[in-house]
Every structure is written in structure tokens, then in C-alpha cells.
Amino acid sequence: MSMDLVSHLDVMRREAERILAGKTFPRFGVIANYDPNTYRAKVQIEPEGILTGWLPISSEYVGNGFGIFVGPAPGDTVVCQFIDGDFGMGVIGSGKIFLPTMPPVPCPSGQVMLIHQSGTYIKFLTTGDLDGYVAGNLNLTVEGNASITSPNPVSITAPTVQVDGNVAVSGSLTGSGSGGATMNGPIESSAGISGATLSAGNGATGSFTAASGQTITVENGIITGIS
């Protein structure tokens, strides 16, 4: 092999190394800083320890003011993609990844889960069911109308259910229990009141209007006045 050919091959090798040096493949790094207002983070590239600029965090669902947001914390391990080897021109493309010290929660194929560190979660099951759990308080505000429609019974289990406002029931209203009923306002009926007979000491207190138009006043299960 001639010296000219060897020299030419060496030049080609060095040029290839120079070009490859300008290319950056996906790199692992650790979140160093996070800005929740811009949804960007700085990443320390490992093992070199190089700190990037502010990189946008990718998401599977994005839009103008909406999307899926998972705020990272310093120390989270992520995968970054860079443009032309510039650590200031990249994107956190795969979000967080699980480690042996932080194992994932089992998630069946086709199931979607959002689990918060507090324990609150929403799970979209493959059966079509939606499971949810709130570790703290649940506050829901609806500016328009709210409705629940189900062909099956709807149940609420709680020590006390408080309703601030009027309650309109178009079907039957059935109650049971040994604690009695207390009404701090009038009871009106256009079709009469039937059922168990009021008895002394059963706790029923208030007044109601019978079908005849008369107002009946009750105190602790005893009729005290008819007008």
C-alpha cells in the first residue's frame, strides 16, 4: 500500500471522527433543576457531569393550555435527545424512567394509570371501568349543569350527607333508620302523607301541609297543632 493511499485513508478517518464527534446520540441524565411555569428542566448528563440549558419536556399529549403534564423532581433519571451535539438544543424525550430502587407499579397491557405520590390515583381499566381514589379532599366545581345518569342504583356511603340548597325528588322517597327525622321547616304534600304513624318520641319535629290544606305541627312525634 502506497504512502499516499495510507495518508489519504488517515485523512478520511480523522474527518469521519470529526463528523461523528458533532453528532450526539440519546444520552442519560439526571434532572438538576425544574421550572414548573415553563415545563422545562436542566439535566446533568452522565457520566461526564455536563449541565445542559433549559430543555423542554416532551409529552404524549400536548396543546394550547392542555395536555399530560408530569412534573419531574431533581434527581429523576431521564433520556435526552440533542441536535448536532449542542447540549443547549435538545429535548427530554422519554420522561422519567424507573430504576431498581424505584420499581414501577404493575400495569396490564392497554391500561392507563395516573398515580400521585400521595396515593391519589385514576385508573382506566381495560374492562371500561374507571377506578379512582383520593387521599385528601375532593373539590369539584361545575359552572354549568351537572348530571349523573345510570340504569342501575347509585349509592353513597358516608356518616353525613349535607345538601346546601333545594332537593327535588320526582320519584319515591324512602327512608329508614332508628334515629328519627328532624325538619326545621314546613313539609308540603299535594297528595297526602302515608306510611308509618307518627308516634311520641320518634324524633319527628316540624310542620306539614295535608291534602286538605291544613297545616299540621309535630314536635318529637306528637301532633301539637292543626290549623
User: Which CATH number goes with the domain that contains 75?
Assistant: 2.40.50.230
Q: Are 121 and 79 part of one and the same domain?
A: no
Q: Are 192 and 209 part of one and the same domain?
A: yes
Containing structural domain, residue 84 = 3-96
Enter the C-alpha cell of residue 171.
Answer: 320519584
The band of 146, judged by pLDDT with boundaries at 50, 70 and 90, is very high
Last residue of a domain, one of 96, 127, 148: 96
Q: Check if the beta carbon of residue 178 is closer than 8 Å to that of residue 196.
A: no
The verdict on residue 77 lying in a domain is yes
The verdict on residue 71 lying in a domain is yes
Last residue of a domain, one of 74, 96, 118: 96
pLDDT of residue 190: 62
Q: Are 29 and 82 part of one and the same domain?
A: yes
Q: Are 212 and 190 part of one and the same domain?
A: yes
Q: What is the dihedral of CA 169, 175, 181, 182, to 10 degrees?
A: -10
Q: Are 31 and 115 part of one and the same domain?
A: no
Q: Check if the beta carbon of residue 211 is closer than 8 Å to that of residue 190.
A: yes
The verdict on residue 202 lying in a domain is yes
The rounded Cα 53 to chain-centroid distance in angstroms is 31
Q: Are 89 and 117 part of one and the same domain?
A: no
The verdict on residue 161 lying in a domain is no
Global pTM exceeds 0.75? no
Report, as an integer, the average pLDDT of 68-76. 89
Q: Which range, 60-64, 125-129, 192-196, has the best average confidence (pLDDT)?
A: 125-129
Q: Are 64 and 123 part of one and the same domain?
A: no
**Cα–Cα distance between 80 and 92 in angstroms, integer?**
4
Classified as helix, coil or strand, 29 is strand
Q: Are 37 and 116 part of one and the same domain?
A: no
**Cα–Cα distance between 175 and 154 in angstroms, integer?**
15
- More reliable by pLDDT, 143 or 201: 143
Report, as an integer, the average pLDDT of 198-216. 64
The verdict on residue 173 lying in a domain is no
Q: Are 29 and 91 part of one and the same domain?
A: yes
Report, as an integer, the average pLDDT of 188-202. 54
Spell out the residues 6+ positions from residue 178 whose beta carbon is closer than 8 angstroms to its own.
Answer: none
Q: Scanning the structure block, which residue is given the C-alpha cell 394509570? A: 113
Report, as an integer, the average pLDDT of 197-217. 64
The verdict on residue 177 lying in a domain is no
Q: Check if the beta carbon of residue 32 is closer than 8 Å to that of residue 45.
A: no
Q: How many domains is the chain built from?
A: 3
pLDDT of residue 173: 74
Using alpha carbons, select from 199, 216, 194, 195 the residue that is nearest to residue 207.
216
Q: Are 113 and 187 part of one and the same domain?
A: no
Position 106 pLDDT exceeds 60: yes
